[in-house]
Chain A
Amino acid sequence: MTAALRFDPIRLPPECEQLRKEVRAFLAEEIAAGTFSPFKPNREDTDVPEFSRKVGAKGWLGMTWPKKYGGQERSFLERYVVTEEMRVANAPTRRFFVADRQSGPVLIKYAPEHIKMDILPRICRGEICFAIGMSEPNSGSDLFAAKTRATKTDGGYLINGTKIWTSSAHIADYMIAIFRTSPPTKENRRHGLTQFLVKMKQPGIQVNPIGQITGQYEFNEVVFTDFFVPEDHVLGEVDGAWKQATSELAYERSGPERFLETYYVLTELVRAVGPNPDTRSAEGIGRLVAQLHTMRRMSVSVAGMLQAGKEPVVEASIVKDIGTVWEQQLPHRVRDLAAFVEETATNRETLERQLDFAIKTAPKLTIQGGTTEVLRGIIARGLGLR
Chain B
Amino acid sequence: MAESDNIVVETAEKIFADLADPQEINNDKKGSWQAPLWRALSEAGLPLAWVPDDLGGSGASLADGFALLNAAGRFAVAVPLAETMLAGWLLAQAKIASPEGEMTVLPASPKDRITIDADGSLSGRARGVPFAKAAKHFAVLAHGKDEVSIALVDAAKARTESGLNVGYDHSDTVTLEKIQPVTIKPAPKGFDQTTMMLMGGVARSLQIAGALEAMLGISVRYSNERVAFEKKISKFQAVQHNLARLAGESAAALAAATSAADAISNAASFDDAVYLEAAAAKIRCAEAAEKGGGIAHQVHGAIGFTIEHILHRYSLRALAWRDDFGSESHWAVELGKLVAKRGADELWPLVASR
Further contacts, 16 of them, CB under 8 A, given A290-B332, A383-B247: A5-B250, A7-B255, A270-B339, A270-B340, A274-B340, A284-B336, A286-B331, A287-B287, A287-B328, A289-B280, A294-B284, A296-B352, A379-B244, A384-B224, A385-B220, A385-B240
| CA A268 to CA B347, docked complex, whole Å | 10
Question: Using an 8 Å CB-CB cutoff, how does the interface string of A1-41 with B read, 1 for contact, 0 for none?
Answer: 11101111101100000001000000000000000000000
- In this complex, what residue of B is CB-closest to A2? B213
Q: Is B226 part of the contact surface with A, judged by Cβ < 8 Å?
A: no
Question: Using an 8 Å CB-CB cutoff, how does the interface string of B248-266 with A read, 1 for contact, 0 for none?
Answer: 1011101110110111000
A386 / chain B contacts, CB cutoff of 8 Å: 234-235, 240
Q: Are B277 and A285 in contact (CB under 8 A)?
A: no
| CA A321 to CA B246, docked complex, whole Å | 12
Q: Is A98 part of the contact surface with B, judged by Cβ < 8 Å?
A: no
| CA A291 to CA B253, docked complex, whole Å | 10
Min C-beta distance of A164 to chain B, whole Å: 26
Q: Is A373 part of the contact surface with B, judged by Cβ < 8 Å?
A: yes
Q: Are A293 and B258 in contact (CB under 8 A)?
A: no
Give the total of A residues in contact with B, Cβ under 8 Å. Answer: 59
A384 / chain B contacts, CB cutoff of 8 Å: 220, 224
Q: Is A344 part of the contact surface with B, judged by Cβ < 8 Å?
A: no
- In this complex, what residue of A is CB-closest to B3? A3
Q: Is B333 part of the contact surface with A, judged by Cβ < 8 Å?
A: yes
Q: Are B244 and A271 in contact (CB under 8 A)?
A: no
A221 / chain B contacts, CB cutoff of 8 Å: none
Q: Are B337 and A282 in contact (CB under 8 A)?
A: yes
Min C-beta distance of A36 to chain B, whole Å: 17
- In this complex, what residue of A is CB-closest to B335? A286
| Residues in A335-386 with C-beta less than 8 Å from chain B | 373, 375-377, 379-380, 382-386
Give the total of B residues in contact with A, Cβ under 8 Å. Answer: 59
| CA A270 to CA B345, docked complex, whole Å | 9
Question: Using an 8 Å CB-CB cutoff, how does the interface string of B206-227 with A read, 1 for contact, 0 for none?
Answer: 0000000100110010011000
Is chain A's binding surface mostly helix, strand, loop or mixed?
A: helix
Q: Are A321 and B248 in contact (CB under 8 A)?
A: yes
Q: Are B336 and A277 in contact (CB under 8 A)?
A: yes
Q: A376-B240, A376-B245, A383-B247 are in contact. Are A84 and B336 (CB under 8 A)?
A: no
Min C-beta distance of B239 to chain A, whole Å: 8
Q: Is B351 part of the contact surface with A, judged by Cβ < 8 Å?
A: yes
Q: Is A275 part of the contact surface with B, judged by Cβ < 8 Å?
A: yes
Q: A270-B347, A386-B240 are in contact. Are A282 and B340 (CB under 8 A)?
A: yes
Q: Is B10 part of the contact surface with A, judged by Cβ < 8 Å?
A: no
Q: Are A283 and B243 in contact (CB under 8 A)?
A: no
Q: A5-B250, A289-B335, A376-B245 are in contact. Are A275 and B341 (CB under 8 A)?
A: yes
B239 / chain A contacts, CB cutoff of 8 Å: 385
Min C-beta distance of B93 to chain A, whole Å: 24
A7 / chain B contacts, CB cutoff of 8 Å: 251, 254-255, 258
A270 / chain B contacts, CB cutoff of 8 Å: 339-340, 343-344, 347
A293 / chain B contacts, CB cutoff of 8 Å: 256, 276-277, 280, 284, 351
Q: Are B252 and A322 in contact (CB under 8 A)?
A: yes
Q: Is A223 part of the contact surface with B, judged by Cβ < 8 Å?
A: no
Question: Using an 8 Å CB-CB cutoff, how does the interface string of A87-109 with B read, 1 for contact, 0 for none?
Answer: 01000000000000000000000
Q: Which of B216, B220, B333 contacts A283 (CB 8 A)?
A: B333
For B3, B259, B279, B345, which residue has the most chain A Cβ atoms within 10 angstroms?
A: B259
Q: Are B340 and A276 in contact (CB under 8 A)?
A: yes
For A3, A271, A296, A383, which residue has the most chain B Cβ atoms within 10 angstroms?
A: A383
- In this complex, what residue of A is CB-closest to B74? A2
Q: Are B255 and A301 in contact (CB under 8 A)?
A: yes
| CA A80 to CA B320, docked complex, whole Å | 37
B3 / chain A contacts, CB cutoff of 8 Å: 3
Q: Is A195 part of the contact surface with B, judged by Cβ < 8 Å?
A: no
Q: A6-B254, A291-B284, A294-B255 are in contact. Are A286 and B333 (CB under 8 A)?
A: yes
A-B contacts, 10 listed (Cβ < 8 Å): A2-B216, A9-B261, A270-B347, A277-B340, A287-B328, A291-B284, A293-B284, A298-B252, A375-B244, A385-B223
Min C-beta distance of B118 to chain A, whole Å: 35
Question: Using an 8 Å CB-CB cutoff, how does the interface string of A107-133 with B read, 1 for contact, 0 for none?
Answer: 000000000000000000000000000
